[in-house]
Structure 1
Amino acid sequence: MYRKLPCKRIDGELCEDHLHEVIEEVPLALFVNGRHAMTAMMSPVMLEEFVTGYLFTEQIIKGIDEIESIKIEKNRMSVITTNLFKVLGPKKTILSGCGGSTSFIDTEKLPKIQSDYHITTQEIWNAGKAVLNSELHRLTGGIHIVALLDGEKIVAVSEDIGRHNALDRVIGFGLRNRMDLSKTYVMVSGRISSEMVRKCLIANIPIIVSRGATTTLAVETAEKTGLTVVGFSRGGKMNIYTHPERVSVVKPGP
């Protein structure tokens, strides 16, 4: 996921030749039933999981059983679905800061969360210590981390230059392993956007947690659709912006 590239490293008055770890970014074109669906700039890992999660969260497929085959070669991902004549429409939302189409969120058309899943604040803090402790991030400083969890149990972790790509991967992992995503939650290293909220709603993942910030549109959308949004989860603190009934508050442990 990274290569060592030459650079001049400056430290005060010291200047020296250096090799530094730089995260890979590659273009990958997705074709569905022979038609171009999109081209993503991303980290070249967990590609079948990404394709599965992307097709599902963009509502091109309704489930894993609609995928007949996935073929990956060089910079091209080709998918054949059970419905060969399905028309690929535009995305239904603007992506927050990462490109997208020119239409806006309509919360009336989004699914509502159907889940009785609960976690504790201590489980969130403990999981954060494990999930966000990334050697790749320490080396490169250039990736986002997204994890799919059940309590403190890490189900899947994805690291990518784009947090939306990483979220699609862990959702795809859950689908390919036929998990009940309503009994899981996701933790992200970066900002929670409205697009990440939308993807969680499509997958019926009831809670999204970040060690960073969220946006107003993400909070407003989550409030109307039953999703729990937690931000700034670090150092024994957190902000629960929506549906706090899913998170039980306990005293922080060591």
Structure 2
Amino acid sequence: MFKRIACIRIGGGSVTRDAAEETPVAIFVNGRHLTTIALSPGGFEDFVTGYLYTEEIIRSADEIESVRIEENRISVITKNIFKRVSVKKTILSGCGGAVSYIDTQKLPAIDSDLVVAVPEIEAAVAALNAPEPLDAVALVTEGRIVARAEDLDRHNALDEVIGRGLRESLDFSRTAAVGTGAVTSEMVRKCLAANIPVLASTGAPTALAVEVAEETGLCIVGAAGTPEMAVYTHPERVAGMEGRGGS
């Protein structure tokens, strides 16, 4: 996922440094171009499975007949080859197009009674160990990492672990997603689509992510694995917060 690149240091001197690889990949479904996404190399089948699922193009991995991976192209054939597909749009424009927001009425709500313990979140964050500048995302169940992915874009990494979970028939309602970087409304939407009840990350959530998560039953944990760890929404899903440090 890295390539050695020559560069010149400020102050003089030539050096080589690792640069993360990035590949524009065109996704075709049933012979029609759906989108083109920049991905880190590897994990393409898991990614496209998760991506099609969180975009609500498929409802299970069983709907995929075949996946063909070429250098810069992923071609998917679904069992219903006549189905027309498009990327789902949940971001709507307000009056005059001046305001954008997510219509939570069009999003599913979390259906799960999962409660996770603080030590489980801390252990998962410690195990991520993502090399710069990549982000990492893992799915955790009963304190175990059951799927893990790295990518330049944490949204892609989240799709990849969701895809792995689909292909392995994982019960998402019993998992927590743990990752690096900020929590965005798009990450919230993907967790809602998969019915993942807890999303914890080393970064902080955006205000919109908190708003959407609060309305739909998703628990967001920010600054995970640090003394500043905090629960932003649905604290009833996190056990063991009492007596912890931070402010």
The TM-score normalised by the length of structure 2 is 0.91
Describe the SS at the equivalent of 1:170.
helix
Task: Give the AA of the match of 2:7.
Answer: C
Map of 2:96 onto structure 1 = none
Which of 127, 131, 141 is matched with 1:130 structurally? 127
CA shift for structure 1 position 104:
4.6
Name stretches of at least 5 consecutive residues in structure 1 with no aligned partner: 96-101
Map of 1:3 onto structure 2 = 3
Task: Give the AA of the match of 1:9.
Answer: R
Alpha-carbon distance between aligned partners in 1 of 2:7 and 2:21, rounded to the nearest angstrom: 16
Map of 2:198 onto structure 1 = 207
Does the 8 A contact of 2:121 with 2:225 survive in 1?
A: no
Describe the SS at the equivalent of 2:5.
strand
CA shift for structure 1 position 227:
0.4
Does the 8 A contact of 2:47 with 2:159 survive in 1?
A: yes
Map of 1:183 onto structure 2 = 174
Map of 1:98 onto structure 2 = none
For each residue in 1:99-152, what CA deviation from the matched residue of structure 2 results, as whole angstroms up to 9, or x when unmatched?
xxx975211111110111111112211221112x23xx1xxx221111111143
Identity of paired residues, percent? 52
Aligned residue runs from structure 1 range 49-64, under 5 A: 49-64=46-61
Alpha-carbon distance between aligned partners in 2 of 1:225 and 1:161, rounded to the nearest angstrom: 28
Does the 8 A contact of 1:92 with 1:104 survive in 2?
A: no
Is 1:198 the counterpart of 2:227 in the alignment?
A: no
Map of 1:232 onto structure 2 = 223
Alpha-carbon distance between aligned partners in 2 of 1:90 and 1:114, rounded to the nearest angstrom: 24
Mean Cα deviation higher: 242-251 or 30-39: 242-251
CA shift for structure 1 position 232:
1.2
Alpha-carbon distance between aligned partners in 2 of 1:103 and 1:69, rounded to the nearest angstrom: 36
Alpha-carbon distance between aligned partners in 1 of 2:140 and 2:225, rounded to the nearest angstrom: 17
Map of 2:64 onto structure 1 = 67
Which of 8, 20, 28 is matched with 1:31 structurally? 28
For each residue in 1:204-250, what CA deviation from the matched residue of structure 2 results, as whole angstroms up to 9, or x when unmatched?
00000011111111111111110001111233431111110010125
Task: Give the AA of the match of 2:209.
Answer: A
Alpha-carbon distance between aligned partners in 2 of 1:142 and 1:64, rounded to the nearest angstrom: 30
Alpha-carbon distance between aligned partners in 2 of 1:37 and 1:80, rounded to the nearest angstrom: 12
Name stretches of at least 5 consecutive residues in structure 2 with no aligned partner: 93-98
Alpha-carbon distance between aligned partners in 2 of 1:215 and 1:103, rounded to the nearest angstrom: 14
Describe the SS at the equivalent of 2:46.
helix
Instruction: Tell me how large the CA RMSD over aligned residues is.
Output: 1.9
For each residue in 1:144-183, what CA deviation from the matched residue of structure 2 results, as whole angstroms up to 9, or x when unmatched?
1111111431111111011111000000000000110110
Does the 8 A contact of 1:230 with 1:238 survive in 2?
A: yes
Alpha-carbon distance between aligned partners in 2 of 1:163 and 1:73, rounded to the nearest angstrom: 23
The TM-score normalised by the length of structure 1 is 0.89
Alpha-carbon distance between aligned partners in 2 of 1:46 and 1:104, rounded to the nearest angstrom: 31
CA shift for structure 1 position 87:
1.7
Is 1:219 the counterpart of 2:216 in the alignment?
A: no
Mean Cα deviation higher: 39-48 or 229-238: 229-238
Is 1:91 the counterpart of 2:82 in the alignment?
A: no
Map of 2:95 onto structure 1 = none
Alpha-carbon distance between aligned partners in 2 of 1:93 and 1:46, rounded to the nearest angstrom: 26
Describe the SS at the equivalent of 1:241.
strand
